[in-house]
Amino acid sequence: MAHVWRGVMREFADRLGVTDASTVVTLGEGGTPLVPARVLSEMTGADVWIKFEGMNPTGSFKDRGMTVALSRAVEHGAKAVICASTGNTSASAAAYAAHAGITAAVLVPEGKIAMGKLSQAVIHGGQLIQIRGNFDDCLEIARELSENYPVHLVNSVNPDRIEGQKTAAYEVVSQLGDAPDFHFIPIGNAGNYTAYSRGFMEEAAAGTSTRVPRMFGFQAEGSAPIVRGEVVRNPETIATAIRIGNPASWELALDAREKTDGYFGAISDTAILAAQKLLASTAGVFVEPASAIGVAGLLERSAAGVIPAGSRVTITVTGHGLKDPQWALTQEDGSQVTPTIVDAAPRDVAEVLGLSPVGAPA
């Protein structure tokens, strides 16, 4: 019989220390595809693979950590969880809390989260509050409430989140048969960068891989506190998922970069959108803007001569393109894509497609 995927807590029960399977809250997250990227490989001379995290139940990598965080919250008798979010965490927390039958309060920056994510939080029954402020303000409030009120914090400052997210690195090693030479990944709070670094280091320590990849993390130029080495008070980028000026896992990320001989870089919004389009049109993988930053990062580092020919490269693309689809329909000059309209006649359609009838002289 075909293997049926049971979610990361059951698939990696020994690694995650799952002792009581009865309290596992899962939507079947993890087990996402690792897709070869032929055109990116040709462009860079490397062997490039895409870890497609948009294939998780709520459309982002957050589900890997949320299953662990919600399971532990339920185990401890929590009736409510709380998080601050740029969107994906709120969607995931609301869905997993709904599944567990408890409440999720989600704090998001007013007007700065993508429509798809907002709609997810709402339909899953999350108590959604828009804060007049940015993500960093939301996180401060969520932390304070979790200390003084009976609500369980499920942001990535909760170590259960990082634990669950490590499983993506385990999967990459198992899908490739070894760890890659380089791993590229977006950075917002730097929780996922930390999680992959740990996951890859665990694999190497266990002998399931022969190496730890160099971890290359990227922030948007207008929102790059770790790259610049200082808090950004008013972060700005079209990649709203990573519009974060004071990352929660900053110190952990510096440590992980040190241990993996890694790198932090900043990428312009223009390069992010170009990479999003390139990935969708050449690999068939549609991701939200923030998730394309690793692709842009690879192109930039490759051009800088840092990626030796033949290197094996993996890129985590963190969230699905349908979360924030407006960018797909926006052209470089800011105008909207308008599909061609013709009468309901085959000949008119063929003409627009540039087709000649079969057997007609060329």
69, 158 contact by CB (below 8 A): yes
Token pair recorded at residue 328: 């797909």
> 357 φ, ψ to 5°?
-60, 145
Taking the complex as a whole, the smallest distance from the CB of residue 193 to ligand AN7 amounts, in Å, to 6
Taking the complex as a whole, the smallest distance from the CB of residue 90 to ligand AN7 amounts, in Å, to 6
Taking the complex as a whole, the smallest distance from the CB of residue 25 to ligand AN7 amounts, in Å, to 18
Token pair recorded at residue 283: 């690999």
Please name every residue paired with 185 in a beta bridge, in sequence order, or none if there are none: 217
Taking the complex as a whole, the smallest distance from the CB of residue 86 to ligand AN7 amounts, in Å, to 4
At 109, the amino acid letter reads P
Taking the complex as a whole, the smallest distance from the CB of residue 74 to ligand AN7 amounts, in Å, to 21
Q: Measured from the CB atom, is 311 or 318 closer to ligand AN7?
A: 318
Q: Measured from the CB atom, is 86 or 311 closer to ligand AN7?
A: 86
SS3 call for 143: helix
SS3 call for 193: helix
Taking the complex as a whole, the smallest distance from the CB of residue 281 to ligand AN7 amounts, in Å, to 20
Q: Measured from the CB atom, is 42 or 255 closer to ligand AN7?
A: 255
Q: Measured from the CB atom, is 151 or 190 closer to ligand AN7?
A: 190
SS3 call for 334: coil
Q: Measured from the CB atom, is 44 or 246 closer to ligand AN7?
A: 246
156: Cβ–Cβ under 8 A, 6 or more apart, which residues?
65, 89, 162, 165, 189, 191, 192, 248, 249
Taking the complex as a whole, the smallest distance from the CB of residue 91 to ligand AN7 amounts, in Å, to 8
Measured CA to CA, the distance from residue 100 to residue 26 in angstroms comes to 9
106, 87 contact by CB (below 8 A): no
Q: Which residues make up the interface to ligand AN7 (CB under 6 A)?
A: 60, 85-89, 156, 186-193, 241-242, 288, 290-291, 318-319
240, 229 contact by CB (below 8 A): no
Token pair recorded at residue 313: 């490269």
Q: Measured from the CB atom, is 135 or 170 closer to ligand AN7?
A: 135
At 172, the amino acid letter reads V
SS3 call for 269: helix
Taking the complex as a whole, the smallest distance from the CB of residue 85 to ligand AN7 amounts, in Å, to 3
Task: Kindly give the interhelix angle for 293-303 and 269-283, rounded to the nearest 10 degrees.
Answer: 100
81, 102 contact by CB (below 8 A): yes
Q: Measured from the CB atom, is 301 or 320 closer to ligand AN7?
A: 320
Q: Measured from the CB atom, is 74 or 239 closer to ligand AN7?
A: 239
Taking the complex as a whole, the smallest distance from the CB of residue 339 to ligand AN7 amounts, in Å, to 27
Measured CA to CA, the distance from residue 77 to residue 150 in angstroms comes to 11
Measured CA to CA, the distance from residue 265 to residue 276 in angstroms comes to 17
Measured CA to CA, the distance from residue 180 to residue 24 in angstroms comes to 31
Measured CA to CA, the distance from residue 173 to residue 351 in angstroms comes to 49
Q: Measured from the CB atom, is 102 or 154 closer to ligand AN7?
A: 154
